[in-house]
């Protein structure tokens, strides 16, 4: 079973129409590996703008959504609104949502179920903090996070699992290719045991955490690393090199 390589760019709370317009021009004009699925996570206020300008061969994602279609939830957006902008993906459970905004595993599970029910693809993020890795509980933490997501998924073809060790996000520290492969392999084993062998073999598990043009090739060569979720580097021209990491 070959899993299509997946590269997500998470622009976070960055960019304006000018700078994003320039980035989009660079992407639209670049030679990219046709065997890679690329999705750009834009700030919600720019979803319409980005979707209208970005070449249709690239997907667009919202960076978050809420768990119901509409209502008195000031400041939130729903999967229905995201789809209405022509956008087909959402990033859920990012460590910044968990640790800066206090989102619980339970809420992320509910959001995942609602997004999938409404036809969005979900990039579901999991990952341990530094004290958890140093305390030897990496597996316990990521398995617990994965279980809450798995309990809310019916169709795994619409889910990409993003392993992002929190200690490596925006710190310049990258998990070594071996560290990444080890966790990805254990996650696949967990899926085989707790979901099914077919899902374990087909679901894409991507790595995030200070991925750059310099680190991407060796990471991409690992057997169970099926792509990347890229932060800062996705706003720079080197994002193209990361997309082409397997080429």
Residue range 198-238, pLDDT digits in tens: 999 999 999 999 899 999 999 999 999 999 999 999 999 99
Question: Is 218 a domain residue?
Answer: yes
Catalytic residue of the set 37, 96, 132, 164: 164
Is position 103 annotated as part of the catalytic site?
Answer: no
Strand partners, 7: 38, 228
The structure tokens listed for 233 are 């580097």
Q: What domain count does the chain have?
A: 1
* pLDDT score at 1: 63
Distance CA 87, CA 80 (A): 10
Parent domain of 28: 3-242
The structure tokens listed for 137 are 């509980």
Question: Is 247 a domain residue?
Answer: no
Tens-place pLDDT, residues 92-132: 999 999 999 999 999 999 999 999 999 999 999 999 999 99
Question: Is 54 a domain residue?
Answer: yes
Is position 76 annotated as part of the catalytic site?
Answer: no
Catalytic residue of the set 94, 103, 114, 184: 94
- Please tell me the pTM assigned to this model: 0.97
Distance CA 128, CA 118 (A): 29
Name 179's Cβ contacts closer than 8 Å, sequence gap at least 6: 165
* pLDDT score at 173: 82
CATH number at residue 238: 3.20.20.70
- Please choose, from the candidates 83, 94, 82, 80, the residue with its C-alpha nearest in 3D space to the C-alpha of residue 9: 94
Tens-place pLDDT, residues 142-201: 999 999 999 999 999 999 999 999 999 888 888 899 999 999 999 999 999 999 999 999
């Amino acid at each position: 079973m070959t899993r299509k390589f997946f590269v997500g760019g998470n622009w976070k709370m960055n960019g304006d129409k000018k700078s994003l317009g320039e980035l989009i021009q660079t992407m639209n004009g670049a030679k990219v590996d046709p065997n890679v699925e690329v999705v750009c996570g834009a700030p919600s206020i720019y979803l319409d703008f980005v979707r209208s300008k970005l070449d249709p061969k690239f997907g667009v994602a919202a960076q978050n959504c809420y768990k119901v279609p509409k209502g008195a939830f000031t400041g939130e957006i729903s999967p229905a609104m995201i789809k209405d902008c022509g956008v087909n993906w959402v990033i859920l459970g990012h460590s910044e949502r968990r640790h800066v905004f206090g989102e619980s595993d339970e809420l992320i599970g509910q959001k995942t179920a609602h997004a999938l029910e409404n036809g969005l693809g979900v990039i579901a993020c999991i990952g341990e903090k530094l004290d958890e890795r140093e305390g030897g509980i990496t597996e316990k933490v990521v398995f617990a996070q994965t279980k809450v997501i798995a309990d809310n998924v019916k169709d795994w073809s619409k889910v990409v699992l993003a392993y992002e060790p929190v200690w490596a996000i925006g710190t310049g520290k990258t998990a070594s290719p071996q560290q990444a492969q080890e966790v990805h392999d254990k996650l696949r084993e967990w899926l085989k045991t707790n979901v099914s062998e077919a899902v374990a073999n087909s679901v894409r598990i991507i790595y995030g955490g200070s991925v750059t043009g310099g680190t991407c090739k060796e990471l991409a060569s690992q057997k169970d690393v099926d792509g990347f979720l890229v932060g800062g580097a996705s706003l720079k021209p080197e994002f193209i090199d990361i997309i082409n990491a397997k080429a």
